[in-house]
A and B are shown apart, each in its own frame.
Chain A
Amino acid sequence: MEETATIKKNWTAGLRFWSDREELLGPLFLFPAILYIVALVGIPFMIALAYSFSDVTVGNTSLDFAGLQNFQAILKTPQFITSLGNTIVFTIVSQIIIIVLANILALILSEDFRGKWFARFLIMLPWATPIALGTIGWLWLLDSKFSPIDWTLRYLHLLGEPGALLGAQKNLFYLGRVELAKASIMAIYVWRMLPLAAVILMAGLTSIPQDILDQADVDGASFWRTLFQIKLPLILPIMSIALLFSLIFTIGDMAVVYVLTRGGPVYYTQILPTWAYYKGIESGALAEGAATALFLFPVLLAVAIMVLRFSRRTEVT
């Protein structure tokens, strides 16, 4: 009896000793996160880096240094050039649309109206949906035969009859025509990232002190002047962070293209992540796949640093 009491006492004393040692506890608690990042991000990244400068293939896994050979090789293939162009265009166009729509949405949602809570909930849904699942939903919506969008257009007499605005054919074949397929992909990017961007901007808008807005009112500023000279400049730092998030999510995503078009028609909607996958995994050219995947890394890194610097510089308080 006495013995268990001493053990218990020693145990609590030990616990107290350890819980006071911040210099040990800090690293201990950080360790799982570091392990996770090293094992699932750091090591694969290093391997990809090594692959991209080697001649490794699925058939011959010995790593021999090949210099910039892979990068030179991929730059000569039209598929890579198309993928690179698509990645840049899809990302830039979708980000522009996202920023404009997210600002409008955030302005609407930061006003007071009935059912605001429900509207906010609905708007967050696309962000909460797993991307592959959401894209499958879009795949059905954009089906070449049974698309509900086409059905609606036909119902509105915009499609499928002589003289209709969108043509006399029964369907638009969204994923079968290059321009429509590209537009569909960008639309899904927008659909996907808009909620997050809008919520971040909304947080920014609600953080503007009411006094400042009242002051603008008293100073005689119109709605547009208040928007462009007060509200938007004040949420610029937050907007740049929202943009950075959205940009990184969009540029690194392969699920949308992989599920929706598989890069088709032909390879005209390929983007770097999907092309790297097809090239590296499905065709076994690991080195070229890695080079493709890493091609934009320096650009992305530079953009991220620039945005973070910019948001810090424009921060005002």
Chain B
Amino acid sequence: MAVIEIKNLSKHFDKVKAVDGVDLAIPEGELLVILGPSGCGKTTLMRMIAGLEKPTSGTISIGGLNVTDLPPRARPIAMVFQSYALYPHMTVFNNIAFPLKAHGNFSRQEIREKVEWAAGILGIEVLLDRKPRQLSGGERQRVALGRALVKEPKVLLLDEPLSNLDAKLRASARDELQRFQRRLGITTIFVTHDQIEALGMGDRIAVMSHGKVMQVGTPQDVYHNSANTFVASFLGSPGMNFIHRGNYLLGFRPEQFVPQEIAENRDDLQLFPFAVTRVEYLGAEQQVYGVVEGSNEGRTVISSMSSETNVKLEPGETYTFAVQKQQLRFFDYETGVCIETQPL
């Protein structure tokens, strides 16, 4: 059964439709990532689930209870903000204890036990007497998580919790956060604009654009079977290549677009004459920019491949590149929606 059920949820700020008719159902224990570019409405959606924003229309239920009109404190949720929003004048202990004190039904002893339990899970017992300003970014994040956990919420909301960490720390924090979520089995909604976080951590990903959910699915699903051109080009770096053919767009991923000589599955290839304009060396891989000859718009197409491949590519020359036919995707030229395989 779904822990969170969101039905036809909208939020309009004057004329702007920040969230526009979103339906989502999130089963118990799932880590759902809401992914989208800034301004797509993902944070507004999360704030509505938290109760910080009142929906214009639609309903939200958590654990079978309709919470649409309830204030945040009446909802069984906890939230970690992007800034961590630690109370700067309180010690770590008091930060974590705050939701329990606010709840009002716990004795001093119970509060102490619960705070120590949360601190134990996150490995921050030694920090309990410190003030937030004496903590590193990673430690602050754990304290914020501890404060969220301590009230044992049904749902944990995380708003870009990794974006304040430096790049190296982010990889380990990702891993840690995911293991932690699995261990506690707590239903989690994770908002991010970073597709690596989304693909790497999510059980499922909801891709949003302009207030609408474009696609919900497993990371493999949204990446390999993107529902439309937005999802296809937003995911992957660089995103999917498109070639205009008649009334549809032909799409293929840069890593699937390789010189014919090194293509696998030689019997079933779609070949393209590819005029290379630039080769970008990126260490482990290289990206080859160019134009597919005969495609009417001269759109730039990108190929990414290992930089150790022994095919020599020079700007200004034309080569034959290939994509396996089963990897080609077709999208309606007008609507951008994925359509069934077309005869080439």
A: which residues have CB within 8 A of B? 209, 211-212, 214-222, 225, 229-230, 233-234, 236, 314, 316-317
A316 to B72, CA, bound (A): 27
**Judging by beta carbons under 8 Å apart, are A230 and B50 in contact?**
no
Q: Give every chain A residue within 8 A of B88 (Cβ-Cβ).
A: 212, 234, 316-317
Q: Give every chain B residue within 8 A of A216 (Cβ-Cβ).
A: 87, 98, 102
Choose from A217, A233, A316 the contact partner of B71 (Cβ within 8 Å).
A217
Question: Of B2-10, B76-84, B284-292, which stretch is located at the interface?
Answer: B76-84
Known: A316-B88, A316-B131, A317-B88. A218 touches B77 (CB 8 A): yes
A236 to B133, CA, bound (A): 17
**Judging by beta carbons under 8 Å apart, are A215 and B85 in contact?**
yes
Q: Does B25 contact A (CB under 8 A)?
A: no
A218 to B158, CA, bound (A): 12
A234 to B73, CA, bound (A): 22
**Judging by beta carbons under 8 Å apart, are B78 and A212 in contact?**
no
For window 247-269 of chain B, which residues contact chain A by CB distance below 8 Å?
none
**Judging by beta carbons under 8 Å apart, are A211 and B87 in contact?**
no
Residue in A closest to B103 when the chains form the complex, CB atoms: A220
Mask, B1-43, CB within 8 Å of A = 1, is: 0000000000000000000000000000000000000000000
Task: With both chains docked as a complex, state the minimum distance between the C-beta of B285 and any C-beta of chain A, in angstroms.
Answer: 38
Task: With both chains docked as a complex, state the minimum distance between the C-beta of B30 and any C-beta of chain A, in angstroms.
Answer: 21
Task: With both chains docked as a complex, state the minimum distance between the C-beta of A228 and any C-beta of chain B, in angstroms.
Answer: 12
Q: Does B89 contact A (CB under 8 A)?
A: yes
Task: With both chains docked as a complex, state the minimum distance between the C-beta of A174 and any C-beta of chain B, in angstroms.
Answer: 43
**Judging by beta carbons under 8 Å apart, are B85 and A222 in contact?**
no
**Judging by beta carbons under 8 Å apart, are B131 and A225 in contact?**
no
**Judging by beta carbons under 8 Å apart, are B81 and A214 in contact?**
yes
Mask, B92-105, CB within 8 Å of A = 1, is: 00000011011100
A221 to B133, CA, bound (A): 23
Residue in A closest to B71 when the chains form the complex, CB atoms: A217
**Judging by beta carbons under 8 Å apart, are B89 and A217 in contact?**
no
Residue in B closest to A221 when the chains form the complex, CB atoms: B102
**Judging by beta carbons under 8 Å apart, are A220 and B72 in contact?**
yes
A221 to B51, CA, bound (A): 14
Choose from B72, B83, B89, B131 the contact partner of A218 (Cβ within 8 Å).
B72
**Judging by beta carbons under 8 Å apart, are A219 and B89 in contact?**
no
Residue in B closest to A233 when the chains form the complex, CB atoms: B89
Ranked nearest first, the 3 interchain pairs of A and B with the lowest CB-CB distance are A220-B73, A215-B85, A211-B85
Q: Does B65 contact A (CB under 8 A)?
A: no
Question: How many residues of chain B have a CB within 8 Å of chain A?
Answer: 26
Q: Does B339 contact A (CB under 8 A)?
A: no
A233 to B79, CA, bound (A): 23
Q: Give every chain A residue within 8 A of B89 (Cβ-Cβ).
A: 233-234, 236, 314, 316
Q: Give every chain B residue within 8 A of A317 (Cβ-Cβ).
A: 88, 133
Q: Give every chain A residue within 8 A of B101 (Cβ-Cβ).
A: 225
Known A220-B99, A225-B102; further 15 A-B contacts with Cβ < 8 A: A209-B85, A211-B81, A214-B47, A214-B52, A214-B79, A214-B85, A217-B52, A217-B71, A219-B98, A219-B147, A220-B72, A220-B73, A230-B87, A236-B89, A316-B131
For window 101-143 of chain B, which residues contact chain A by CB distance below 8 Å?
101-103, 131, 133
**Judging by beta carbons under 8 Å apart, are B102 and A219 in contact?**
yes
Known: A209-B83, A212-B85, A234-B89. A218 touches B78 (CB 8 A): yes
**Judging by beta carbons under 8 Å apart, are B73 and A221 in contact?**
yes
Task: With both chains docked as a complex, state the minimum distance between the C-beta of A235 and any C-beta of chain B, in angstroms.
Answer: 10
Residue in B closest to A214 when the chains form the complex, CB atoms: B52
Mask, B178-196, CB within 8 Å of A = 1, is: 0000000000000000000
**Judging by beta carbons under 8 Å apart, are A218 and B52 in contact?**
yes
Offer 29 A-B interface pairs, CB within 8 angstroms, sorted by A: A209-B85, A212-B85, A212-B87, A214-B50, A214-B52, A215-B81, A215-B85, A215-B87, A216-B87, A216-B98, A217-B51, A217-B71, A218-B50, A218-B72, A219-B99, A219-B102, A219-B151, A220-B72, A220-B151, A221-B98, A221-B102, A225-B101, A230-B87, A233-B89, A236-B89, A314-B89, A316-B88, A316-B89, A317-B133
A225 to B100, CA, bound (A): 12
Q: Give every chain A residue within 8 A of B78 (Cβ-Cβ).
A: 218
Q: Give every chain A residue within 8 A of B72 (Cβ-Cβ).
A: 217-218, 220
A218 to B47, CA, bound (A): 10
Q: Give every chain B residue within 8 A of A218 (Cβ-Cβ).
A: 50-52, 72-73, 77-79
Q: Give every chain A residue within 8 A of B79 (Cβ-Cβ).
A: 214-215, 218
A211 to B81, CA, bound (A): 7
Task: With both chains docked as a complex, state the minimum distance between the C-beta of A193 and any C-beta of chain B, in angstroms.
Answer: 26
Residue in A closest to B82 when the chains form the complex, CB atoms: A211
Q: Give every chain B residue within 8 A of A209 (Cβ-Cβ).
A: 83, 85
Known: A217-B72, A316-B131. A222 touches B83 (CB 8 A): no
For window 35-79 of chain B, which residues contact chain A by CB distance below 8 Å?
47, 50-52, 71-73, 77-79
Q: Give every chain A residue within 8 A of B131 (Cβ-Cβ).
A: 316
Q: Give every chain A residue within 8 A of B85 (Cβ-Cβ).
A: 209, 211-212, 214-215
A212 to B85, CA, bound (A): 5
A234 to B131, CA, bound (A): 14
Task: With both chains docked as a complex, state the minimum distance between the C-beta of A237 and any C-beta of chain B, in angstroms.
Answer: 10
Residue in B closest to A236 when the chains form the complex, CB atoms: B89
A209 to B72, CA, bound (A): 18
Task: With both chains docked as a complex, state the minimum distance between the C-beta of A133 and any C-beta of chain B, in angstroms.
Answer: 41
Task: With both chains docked as a complex, state the minimum distance between the C-beta of A232 and any C-beta of chain B, in angstroms.
Answer: 10
Most chain A beta-carbon contacts within 10 A, residue among B47, B79, B133: B79
